[in-house]
Amino acid sequence: MDYIQLTPQDREAMLRTIGVNKVEDLYYSLPEEYRLKEALKLSGLPTPKSELELQRELAEMAASNRPAAAGACFLGGGAYDHFIPTAVDALAHNGTFTTAYTPYQAEASQGSLQAFFEFQTQVCRISGLDVANASLYEGATASAEAVMMALNATGKRRVLVADSVHPHYKAVISTYLSDLPAQYISIPLKDGVVDGQALSKLLEEGRGDTACVVIQSPNVFGLIEDWTAHFNTTHQSQTPDGQPGEALAVAIYNPTATGLLKRPGDCGADIAAADGQPLGIPLQFGGPYLGLFSARQSLLRRMPGRLVGQTVDVNGKRGYCLTLQTREQHIRGAKATSNVCTNQGLLALRATIYMSAMGPQGLREVATQCFHKAHYAAQQIAALPGYSLAYSGEFFHEFVVNTPVPAQKIIDAGRARNIQPGLSCRKLGIGSENQLLIAVTEKRTRKQIDALVSLLKESR
């Protein structure tokens, strides 16, 4: 099924209108030697699949997976298994949202524009900053865009990145910085969190050439970083002749945590980036997710991505349109603030509906339950012989435990009980093979947590 509606009679009549005998004639400028003589042969696809065959094969493919979310899922590491209100799917699956184009024609796109305006407002409110865009791809690229914005805004070259940032995010920032006149510098850790003295020293060594300091909290170990102190240090840095250093503070945050903990803007961040996956987006094997991006008002004109603004029509009626487009690639080309064009509209819509459905009390409850359940699990596990918490700092909903046997052995043992006990810290590149990174969301029940504890207890 190629979803084409023309009948053979239509084709004939249309060719007659154009004045050619066959459709091949229309490819007049495509040299003969480049035309395939027969239809493409695609691997493992001898014939097109009918809709029924496709339904069967998709169901088979889905059934040959073991979805973590179907069991007791304690996997985190940047993607979290949260409760999603039914209304999110019901509303976001509406074809008038899924099949709409980017809202360049404002009068034909008031629905998505208003939703993105609400989204921008919500992102400002959860991040505690002044302006937010209408989304970027996902958390790691949003973090890299934050760094790029800091480089452009300050004209400086050094980028200090906490070693406790998620390894994928570090890798993407590093990719974005290579080939540019910029330097990636790691901020060392002490007991799993940023070493404040080391940060001061790096800022001093930078002699006023630091573009930004990037700190994620909760960090990749689940630990809560002292943003307020470190961003204060960042803002107090100076050039050798005593001028303000102008380094910007970049916070990578978890949107769920803002229901309970201080927000990036409350702690002095100038730019905040996050993955919005926890806001009503299923795990779906890593994508599509959602990049959240917000900043202080003074950085508005350096923002990457689309911005929706409120305005009025000729009758004075309120309406919305894309705005400040002179920042963007389709107007500014090589001088644009970013190359981003297509972003994550439908995921931004999901997050908007999720945040509206949860409200302040709902988000607080999600965050609070995550906190209590994770701490309950951590206490039970730390009490097991052979197990201990790897770090002593405060954590939110994720923590590292030292295990008496390789983490992979526990993960393999969990499969039979439909438990995903956590991520191997070695595999994720954040620790040893005898360490497990465990995330506990509001979706986990006490029964599931107790089953996890039993699994660990028996894995010795």
- Whole-number minimum distance, CB 391 to other proteins, in Å? 14
Residues 222-251 that bind other proteins (CB under 8 A): 224
Q: Compute the residue count for the chain.
A: 460
Q: For residue 327, which of 305, 344, 342 has the smallest C-alpha distance?
A: 305
Pairing of strands 183-187, 158-162: parallel
β-pair type (248-253, 271-275): parallel
Residue 82's nearest CA partner among 407, 414, 398, 410 is 398
Which one of 198, 229, 260, 405 is in contact with other proteins (CB under 8 A)?
260
Query: Which positions from 150 through 209 interact with other proteins, judged by CB under 8 A?
Result: 166, 168-169, 171-172, 174-176, 178-181
Whether the CB-CB separation of 441 and 373 falls below 8 Å is answered with yes
- Residue 122 neighbours by CB distance under 10 Å: 20
Residue of 156, 158, 230, 263 that binds other proteins (CB under 8 A):
263
Note whether 12 binds other proteins by CB under 8 A: no
CA 441 to each of CA 267, 350, 397, 446, 450: distance values in angstroms, whole numbers, following the listed order: 25, 19, 7, 11, 14
CA distances from 260 to 215, 361, 392 (A): 19, 10, 20
Query: Which range, of 186-194, 195-203, 234-242, 278-286, touches other proteins by CB under 8 A?
Result: 278-286
Among 198, 229, 300, 405, binds other proteins (CB under 8 A): 300
Q: Does 405 bind other proteins (CB under 8 A)?
A: no
Out of 232, 234, 251, 307, name the contact with other proteins by CB under 8 A.
Answer: 307
**Cβ nearer to other proteins, comparing 134 with 203:** 134
Interface with other proteins (CB under 8 A), residue from 243, 361, 385, 416: 361
Task: Examine residue 413 and tell whether it contacts other proteins (CB under 8 A).
Answer: no
Binding mask 323-342 for other proteins (x = CB under 8 A): xxxx-xxxxxxxxx-xxxxx
- Of the candidates 36, 155, 240, 416, which one interacts with other proteins according to CB under 8 A? 36
- Could you say whether residue 434 binds other proteins (CB under 8 A)? no
CA angle 288, 289, 293 (to 5 degrees): 135
Which amino acid, residue 81? D
Residue 406 interacts with other proteins (CB under 8 A): yes or no: no
> Does 69 interact with other proteins (rule: CB under 8 A)?
yes
- Cβ atoms of residues 350 and 340 within 8 Å: no
Considering only 423, 430, 453, 456, the residue that binds other proteins (CB under 8 A) is 423
Binder of other proteins out of 216, 233, 369, 435 (CB under 8 A): 369
Among 72, 77, 251, 278, binds other proteins (CB under 8 A): 77
Helix (H) or strand (E) holding 373: helix 345-382
Q: Which is nearer to other proteins, 237 or 343 (CB)?
A: 343
Token duo for residue 45: 């696809």
Under rule CB under 8 A, residue 389 binds other proteins: no
370 exposure class (CB count in 10 Å sphere: 0-12, 13-18, 19+): buried
